[in-house]
Structure formats: C-alpha cells, structure tokens
C-alpha cells in the first residue's frame, strides 16, 4: 500500500485532574499507510477520540499531556509529540484535517460558510480572498452541494445537519491534507444522512487518495469503508487486523461482544439485542491484568494477574487476549460471529 | 429587516403607554398631597381653587385622559414644586450634563471592562485572571457613594490633580466619569470573562484550531463576536442607568444633572415631575432596548433571520 503516512508508537496520554491522573490512552501503536482507511472502534471513553485529537494536538495541555516514550511520526519526518504550538499550526488544516462529531456545534454560527472554509486556505496558501472563495466554492461542489456560490454566503443555521457535515468535510479538505481524521462523523446525523455522508467520504477518499482515520463505534460504518481496523478498550488496542480479520475471524472476546451487539437482519426479531454486561474500568486506577477481564465471560486466572501482550494471529492481525496463547483452552466463538457476520 | 423594525416600534409604543398608565395611577395611590404642609393650614376654599387650577378636582379617569393627550403632544405638565417651570424645561436643562457624563463613563467602562474580561479569560487561572477579577471584585463591592467622595477628596482636593467638582471644562469630567464607571467595569469584566470562557469550550473553536489558525486569530474572529452577545443584552439597561444620571455622583461632584431632580421630585411629591421623569426614563430605556435589538441582529445572523420571517 505504499509507505506509512502516520506511525503511532506506544502513545500514552494522561489527564492531570484534581482527583489524580486519568490514563486515557495507555500505549497505543498503529501505522497508517498512504491512501488507507483505518477505523478505530470502541465504546465511549475507550480513548479513541483522545488518540485522534492527540494526533492533531487539539487537546489543551494542561490538563492533558503526552507521556514520555510516546511517538507520533507523521509523513516520515514530523515528530508530532515534540512539536511546538506554532509548528503544529502549520500542519493543522494544511497537512491534516479533522471532521468533528456534531455539525450543529462545530461551525461558527456568526460566520458565513464561505468565510469559514476560506479561512484555512488563506492561512496556509498564498491566495487572495477571491481565489480562496473560488476554492471554497469548488470544495462545496466536491462535497455534493448544489448552488455552491450561493451557499458560500449562507450561515450554518440556514443549513440542515447533513449539509453542515458536508461543509465540515469541505472545510477539512480545504488544503488537500494528507491525513483526514473523522471523529464519529455520522453519530449525530439521521440514519439516511449517515449513509450519504459515508458514501461521500468513501468517494472523496477514492478520488483524492487521502489517508483517513475513522473514529467510530458504528461497525456498519467500519464495514462500509475501512481497510484496517483497530479495536480499543480502556485506552489500549485489544485487537488489530484487516476488515476481513476483524469481521470474519475476530480473536478477542471484546470484539466478539461488539459484533454481537450489532442488530442483524437474519436474527429472531423478538430476541433482545446482545450487549456486553458491566462497565469499562476506572482509568484513574487501571486494573493490573487484562482490563476486560472483569466483563469477560471467558476470563481465566491469568487474565486478572497479567496483562496479555498481543498474540500474532497472521500477518497484520493480532489480539491481546490470553485465549490466543498456545496453552490456552479452546473456546468456541459465540454463535453468529465469524463468516457472514457482516453484510 | 424593515418589518422587524416596524413591529418593534409598535411594541415600543404599547409598552410606553402601559408605563404611562401605571405610573399615573400609582402616583394617585401615594399618601399625602403635592401642596405639602401648607395645605393643612390653608382654608378649604383656597385648597379647592388650587386643586381646580391643577385639574385635581376632576374624576381621575378625566385627569388621566387629559394627561395622556398632553403627553402625546409632548407636554409633560408644569412642576408643582416650581410652578414657573415645565417638566420638559427641567429635562432640557438637566439632561445634557447627565447624558454627557453617562456616555463618557459608559465608554470608559466598556473599554476597561471588556479588556479586563478578555485578559482574564485568555489567561484563565493565571495571575492576570486573578488580578482582573480582584479589580472587578473591588468594583462591585465598593459603592459609588464611597468611591466618589474619596476621588473628590484625594485626587481633587488633597493632591489637586483634577478639579474636585463642578461642571466646567473637560478636566471636570474625568473624576465623576471614573466614579460612575467603577461598578459597571466590574459587571462587564465578569460577564465578558464568563462569556469568553464559555465560547472557548465550544466545538467550533476546536474546528478553528484544527484549521491551523493562530490563537490570536481565533480570539479575534471566532471568540469575540460570539462572546459579546450576552454583553450587548445587558449593555442596554446599564447604558440607560448611567445616562439618566445618578444622585450620588451628581451631588458629590455638584453636577447639574437629572439624577438630583428625580430624587427631589419624589421627596416633595411633585406628581407631574415624577410621572414626567418616569416616562422620560422609560422612553429612553425602551429606545435603547430597541437599538440593542438592532445591534443584536447585526452581530448575530440567526436573530436577523428570525426577524425577517
């Protein structure tokens, strides 16, 4: 797939609070190749958004800080974790763009759409105001908005949620970034609009060959457009693999749980949807062993004592679960997972 | 926009009418009479003549209608206290000083107050924040009847830097304007700080940051305009309060303003003066609120739109 655009190595991010240190991200590593779509999946509070926003250094510090030994290498030359704020300003919006979750609140209500899109262009490129506006109009057409020239002069409140998310996408693409981070881009939208936005993102990804990090808890969205998937739990990657690996041959009980909690067309309509019992651990004091052990129906003695390393399944597919240890007992994958689970 | 302005104008007239009516009848409920102690010693015939002269012998609804008619014509009646002066004359004579002082102190408080608020918000929980809020705390807790005499006494009298009172040249304006602005600065600084902090936590500020904009640019083009909205709302009533004069500052610095007139009209039960000044005060308040709404529409496109529909 080409050489990596982003290499994250042992990323650890903590928040210093009055009550102590919240270890939101506890050693996340992954690589993203050029033109690839990586999905980060996990439930609320698993650290996926913090990971994404740390890559753009958008989380204010203090209270957050990147711990010693973390590395975020962007485009083979920029060490994001060591950059100053002004160096970051040249990268943000220019080489990396971000799409946020809620388009209702992520656009400035007192500025026209055109002004908001052209702002980034004016900052990073030597263009006049009218050139920037022209580019903004092209971008609006690219994201599928009709009458782009009129739209430029409208305010966000005159647009629907889906339209605003299109504006957000246009805005993030303004300077042809090499990396696009989409933080739950469809969560706040209607289901029908969600599909349109995903289609749009996939289209743009194919046209522009931008690398995308897609943060989501919606496995349907993952299946639609991701090439690679990492599953996060309690600030750690518990399983990584290609889309096929994760959907057809998942090796971590947490991934099983996630897959089972997606509604299926062929399931009994009266049956209750499966859910994973319990709640994620307290990240003020993460457990010693596997963080998922307390909720895991397959937990063994070793799980509560030693945190498992990643076990190699095949090339690019690994899972942090003791069940993959050669000496572990054989466990049947729950019914309904594996072949046919998606689609 | 024109329709919006017209509709607001109709509301303005209705509000003013309600205020005139309420003030008029509330006045009638006050105990005592405008002729003071002299009335007790006066023969009943004389009192009757006096009452007839001022139209007080007629039923109250007739007095009300006559008064309303006069107000429409711009006649607020003759003062009971100074029978040679009309209420309109008193306003014409005293209002300019109050207005000028008010505008000066308002400008001072907006500039200083907003600056303090912005600094405090941008340096949240740092020493700049603490010192700005300390100044604001002083401004709120020390009333003008303490600040005004202190300024007059020390800066005016003892150190002789500025004139301690009177209303003559520009140098006479400085001390009263500061004294009057003191509390307003505090209110504006606190509000602006809270508003800026709120805006800073909103999603679109993160969006602006994700575009790579520098902090200064984000503050100027994304935060200020949104943070100023609640300030515009309270600025209306504050402005009216300040420009219609305050008894304390005007009496300490011996300024011939409207504040003094208002208070003395109440103590002497000068019906026409009280009603007249109340109406005047209300009219200014309503006009300023109206202007505030228009400014609001200019700052916030969402409001402009809802008005258009």
Specify the pLDDT at position A145.
Answer: 86
Specify the pLDDT at position A213.
Answer: 92
Report percent pLDDT > 90 for chain B: 7
Q: What is the pLDDT of residues A22-54, one digit of tens each?
A: 888 888 999 999 889 999 998 888 888 889 889
- Cis-peptide, bond into residue B134, ω within 30° of zero: no
List B57's β-bridge partners, or say none.
Answer: none
A288: in domain:
yes
Q: Does A172 touch chain B (CB under 8 A)?
A: yes
The full set of domain ranges for chain B reads 94-234
Cβ pair A49, A215 in contact under 8 A: yes
Q: Which of B201, B208, B209, B210 to mutate to test the interface with A (most CBs of A within 10 A)?
A: B210
Strand A179-183 and strand A96-99: the pairing is parallel
A20: in domain:
yes
Q: What is the pLDDT of residues A1-30, one digit of tens each?
A: 467 889 998 899 998 888 888 888 888 999
User: By mean pLDDT, which of A106-110, B59-63, B168-172 is the weakest?
Assistant: B168-172
Question: Which residues on chain B are in Cβ contact (under 8 Å) with A111?
Answer: 221-222
Closest CA of chain A from B14, distance in Å: 32
Specify the pLDDT at position B166.
Answer: 76
Specify the pLDDT at position B309.
Answer: 37
Are residues A253 and A209 part of one domain? no
Cβ pair B210, A172 in contact under 8 A: yes
Model-level pTM greater than 0.80?
A: no
Specify the pLDDT at position B112.
Answer: 92
Q: What is the pLDDT of residues A99-137, one digit of tens each?
A: 988 888 899 988 899 999 998 888 888 888 888 899 889
3-state secondary structure of B78: strand
Question: Which residues on chain A are in Cβ contact (under 8 Å) with B305?
Answer: 155, 157-158
A329: in domain:
no
Q: In angstroms, what is the C-alpha Rg of chain B?
A: 24
Q: Which of A86, A104, A108, A125 to mutate to test the interface with B (most CBs of B within 10 A)?
A: A108
Interface contacts A/B by beta carbons within 8 Å:
80
A28: in domain:
yes
Specify the pLDDT at position B243.
Answer: 80
Specify the pLDDT at position B306.
Answer: 55
A333: in domain:
no
Structural domain total, chain A: 2
Separation CA A139–CA A136 (nearest Å)? 5
A35: in domain:
yes
Q: What is the pLDDT of residues B93-139, one digit of tens each?
A: 888 888 888 888 899 999 999 999 999 988 888 888 888 889 888 88
In this predicted model, which residue has the larger pLDDT, B154 or A335? B154
For A176, name the nearest residue in chain B, comparing CA atoms only: B211
Counting Cα atoms < 13 Å in the Cβ hemisphere of A142 gives 23
Range of the domain at A259: 233-324
For B224, name the nearest residue in chain A, comparing CA atoms only: A110
Report percent pLDDT > 90 for chain A: 9
- CA geometry: angle at A78 spanning A77 and A84, to 5°? 150
User: By mean pLDDT, which of B15-29, B87-101, B255-269, B294-308 is the weakest?
Assistant: B294-308
Separation CA A155–CA A335 (nearest Å)? 50
3-state secondary structure chain A: CCCEEEEEEEEEEEEEECCEEEEEEEEEEEEEECCCEEEEECCCCCCHHHHHHHHCCCCCCCCEEECCCCEEEECCCEEHHHCCHHHHHHHECCCEEEECCCCCCCCCCCCCHHHHHHHHHHHHCCCCHHHHHHHHHHHHHHCCCCCHHHHCCCCHHHCCHHHHHHHHHHHHHCCCCCEEEEECCCCCCCHHHHHHHHHHHHHHHHHHCCEEEEEECCHHHHHHHCCEEEEEECCEEEEEEEHHHHHHCCCCHHHHHHHHCCCCCCCCCCCCCCCCCCCCCCCCCCCCCCCCHHHCCCCCHHHHHCCCCCEEEECCEEECCHHHCCCCCCCCCCCCCCCCCCC
Query: Taking residues A230-259, what's their average pLDDT?
Result: 89
Are residues A194 and A129 part of one domain? yes
Report percent pLDDT > 70 for chain B: 94
Specify the pLDDT at position B29.
Answer: 81
A332: in domain:
no
Nearest to A109 among B209, B211, B302 (CB): B302
pLDDT at residue A80 greater than cutoff 50: yes
Which residues between 180 and 209 in chain B have a beta carbon less than 8 angstroms from any beta carbon of chain A?
202-204, 206-209
Are residues A154 and A269 part of one domain? no
Closest CA of chain A from B287, distance in Å: 25
For B125, name the nearest residue in chain A, comparing CA atoms only: A62
Question: Which residues on chain B are in Cβ contact (under 8 Å) with A106?
Answer: 203-204, 206-207
CA distances to A268, A337, A340, B13, B50 from A264, in Å: 9, 11, 10, 64, 93
Are residues A182 and A149 part of one domain? yes
Cβ distance A119 to B302 less than 8 Å, yes or no, reads no
Question: Which residues on chain A are in Cβ contact (under 8 Å) with B204?
Answer: 105-109
Are residues A187 and A155 part of one domain? yes
Separation CA A120–CA A136 (nearest Å)? 10
pLDDT bucket at B191, cuts 50 / 70 / 90: very high
Are residues A150 and A296 part of one domain? no
Q: Does A52 touch chain B (CB under 8 A)?
A: no
Write the burial class of residue B204 (CB in 10 Å: 0-12 exposed, 13-18 middle, 19+ buried): buried
Specify the pLDDT at position B38.
Answer: 66
Separation CA A205–CA B94 (nearest Å)? 71
List A30's β-bridge partners, or say none.
Answer: A8
Q: Whose CA is closest to A343, among A249, A248, A268, A255?
A: A248
Q: What is the pLDDT of residues A148-161, one digit of tens each?
A: 888 889 999 888 88
- Among the three residues A171, A196, A226, which one is the final residue of a domain in this structure? A226
Q: Does A250 touch chain B (CB under 8 A)?
A: no
For A172, name the nearest residue in chain B, comparing CA atoms only: B211
List A214's β-bridge partners, or say none.
Answer: A39, A182
Q: Which of A105, A119, A165 to mutate to test the interface with B (most CBs of B within 10 A)?
A: A119
Which residues between 207 and 246 in chain B have a beta carbon less than 8 angstroms from any beta carbon of chain A?
207-215, 217, 221-222, 225-226
- Among the three residues A175, A205, A226, which one is the final residue of a domain in this structure? A226
Are residues A164 and A126 part of one domain? yes
- Give the containing element (helix H, strand E) for B238: helix B229-243
Are residues A264 and A117 part of one domain? no
Separation CA B253–CA B151 (nearest Å)? 10
- Maximum Cα–Cα distance across chain A: 67
Are residues A186 and A58 part of one domain? yes
Strand A236-242 and strand A317-319: the pairing is antiparallel
CATH code assigned at A37: 3.40.50.300
Separation CA B53–CA B152 (nearest Å)? 45
Cβ distance A110 to B210 less than 8 Å, yes or no, reads no
Question: Which residues on chain A are in Cβ contact (under 8 Å) with B217?
Answer: 123
- Among the three residues A208, A226, A244, which one is the final residue of a domain in this structure? A226
Q: Does A58 touch chain B (CB under 8 A)?
A: yes
Q: How many residues does the structure list for chain A?
A: 343
pLDDT bucket at A230, cuts 50 / 70 / 90: very high
Query: Taking residues A266-294, what's their average pLDDT?
Result: 80
Query: Taking residues A233-252, what's their average pLDDT?
Result: 90
């Amino acid at each position: 797939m080409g050489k990596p655009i982003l290499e994250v190595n042992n990323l650890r991010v903590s928040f210093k609070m009055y009550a102590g240190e919240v270890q939101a991200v506890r050693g996340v590593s992954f690589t993203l190749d050029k033109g690839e779509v990586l999905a980060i999946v996990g439930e609320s509070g698993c650290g996926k958004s913090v990971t994404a926003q740390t890559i753009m250094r958008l989380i204010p510090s203090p209270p957050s800080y990147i711990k010693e030994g973390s590395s975020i290498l962007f485009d083979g030359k920029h060490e994001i974790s060591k950059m100053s704020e002004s160096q970051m300003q040249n990268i943000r919006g220019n080489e990396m763009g971000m799409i946020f979750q809620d388009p209702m609140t992520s656009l400035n209500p007192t500025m026209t759409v055109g002004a908001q899109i052209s702002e980034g262009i004016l900052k990073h490129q030597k263009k006049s105001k009218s050139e920037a506006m022209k580019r903004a109009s092209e971008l609006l057409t690219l994201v599928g908005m009709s009458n782009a020239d009129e739209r430029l002069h409208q305010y966000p409140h005159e647009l629907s949620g889906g339209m605003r998310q299109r504006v957000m996408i246009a805005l993030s693409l303004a300077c042809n970034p090499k990396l696009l981070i989409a933080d739950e881009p469809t969560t706040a939208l209607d289901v029908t609009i969600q599909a349109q936005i995903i289609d749009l993102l996939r289209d743009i990804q194919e046209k522009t060959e931008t690398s995308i990090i897609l943060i989501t808890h919606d496995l349907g969205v993952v299946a639609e457009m991701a090439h690679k998937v990492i599953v996060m739990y309690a600030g750690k990657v518990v399983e990584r693999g290609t889309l096929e690996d994760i959907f057809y041959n998942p090796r971590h009980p947490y991934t099983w749980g996630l897959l089972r909690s997606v509604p299926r067309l062929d399931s009994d309509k009266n049956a209750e949807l499966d859910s994973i019992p319990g709640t994620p651990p307290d990240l003020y004091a993460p457990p010693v062993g596997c963080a998922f052990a307390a909720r895991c129906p397959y937990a063994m003695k070793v799980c509560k004592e030693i945190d498992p390393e990643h076990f190699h399944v095949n090339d690019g597919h690994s899972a942090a679960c003791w069940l993959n240890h050669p000496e572990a007992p054989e466990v049947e994958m729950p019914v309904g997972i594996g072949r046919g689970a998606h689609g | 926009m024109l329709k919006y302005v017209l509709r607001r104008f109709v509301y303005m007239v209705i509000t003013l009418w309600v205020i005139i009516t309420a003030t008029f009848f509330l006045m009638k409920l006050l105990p005592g009479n405008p002729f003071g102690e002299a009335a007790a010693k006066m023969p009943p015939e004389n009192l009757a003549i006096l009452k007839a002269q001022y139209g007080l012998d007629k039923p109250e609804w007739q007095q009300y209608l006559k008064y309303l008619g006069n107000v429409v014509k711009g006649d607020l009646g003759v003062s009971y206290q100074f029978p040679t002066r009309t209420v309109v004359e008193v306003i014409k004579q005293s209002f300019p000083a109050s207005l000028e002082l008010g505008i000066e102190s308002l400008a001072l408080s907006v500039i200083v107050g907003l600056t303090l608020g912005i600094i405090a918000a941008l340096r949240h929980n740092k020493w700049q924040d603490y010192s700005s809020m300390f100044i604001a705390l002083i401004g709120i807790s020390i009333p003008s009847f303490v600040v005004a005499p202190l300024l007059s006494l020390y800066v005016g009298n003892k150190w002789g830097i500025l004139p301690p009172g009177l209303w003559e040249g520009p140098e006479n304006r400085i001390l009263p304007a500061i004294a009057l602005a003191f509390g307003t600065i505090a209110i504006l600084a606190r509000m602006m700080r809270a508003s800026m902090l709120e805006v800073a936590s909103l999603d679109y500020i993160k969006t602006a940051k994700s575009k790579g904009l520098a902090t200064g640019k984000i503050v100027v083009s994304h935060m200020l305009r949104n943070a100023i909205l609640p300030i515009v709302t309270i600025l209306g009533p504050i402005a009216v309060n300040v420009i219609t004069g305050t008894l304390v500052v005007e009496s300490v610095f011996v300024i011939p303003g409207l504040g003094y007139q208002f208070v003395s009209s109440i103590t002497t039960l000068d019906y026409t003066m009280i009603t007249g000044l109340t109406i005047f005060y209300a009219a200014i308040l309503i006009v300023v609120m109206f202007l505030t709404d228009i400014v609001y529409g200019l700052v916030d496109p969402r409001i402009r739109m809802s008005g258009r529909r």
